[in-house]
Amino acid sequence: MVIKSVLTAIPLFYLSVFKAPESVYKNIISIQRKFLWGWGKEKKPISWVSWGDLCKPKEEGGLGLKDIKKFNFSLLAKWRWRSIAKDKGKWKEVLQSKYGVDLDCPHIPVKHQSWWWRDIVKVCKEGGGEGWFQNELRWKLGRGDKIRFWEDVWVGESTIKAKFQRLFTLSMNQGRKVEDVGVWEGTDWRWRLEWRRDRFQWETEIEGNLMVCIARSSVKRDMEDVQVWGG
């Protein structure tokens, strides 16, 4: 289809590097819509189907056209992902040397950010809160020196804090890394959670469920913690 192969491909380089203004999205969609329904007619064509429906996959009754805004966001988010991943590139070295920051860090101070990087951060946080991008990230446990025990996703599909909110309020390990919530005894890793007070009987049962949950993962001395894409 010409819309896919030409009209979406023409702005590809721009969309891969810059966050387009809303007016650009609207103009591109307007051109695509006129081409699809007008076929060169001078009069304003009638759109018989909503553009959102046309952007749905063919399996869902659409034409599989790209939502140009989401397409732009996904291309920019790829830069964020590549900064987290272990990919090497001159662009990464330039940013690190120019701004003196570690791009692996999810919270680079604003004063160190270029306008280009700020746009990428805004795109990844679209929707408020931590944002859709951060919500899809997971951790693969290694040494446990980068992963927060309660607050990061490293067991299952949600944080331990979300699964065991009651125990989180009693924990003295809030904000600590996984490596700080246990000790090595020879070659064996032992979890050692600290509490503000003795647990009630029903809380002890919940603690048992917590221990079963974290027993699925084991700390590894010779491996780094790695972020992976969960979506």
177 bridge partner residues: 148
Q: What is the pLDDT of residues 71-121, one digit of tens each?
A: 999 999 988 888 777 667 787 777 777 655 555 555 556 666 678 888 888
Q: What is the pLDDT of residues 39-61, one digit of tens each?
A: 666 667 777 788 888 888 888 88
Whether this prediction's pTM lies above 0.75 is answered by no
What ranges do the domains of the chain cover?
2-66, 72-131, 137-229
Whether pLDDT at 174 is above 80 = yes
- Tell me the pLDDT band of 214, cut-offs 50, 70 and 90: very high
pLDDT value for 110: 60
Instruction: Name the amino acid, one letter, at 206.
Output: I
Q: What is the pLDDT of residues 141-152, one digit of tens each?
A: 999 998 999 999
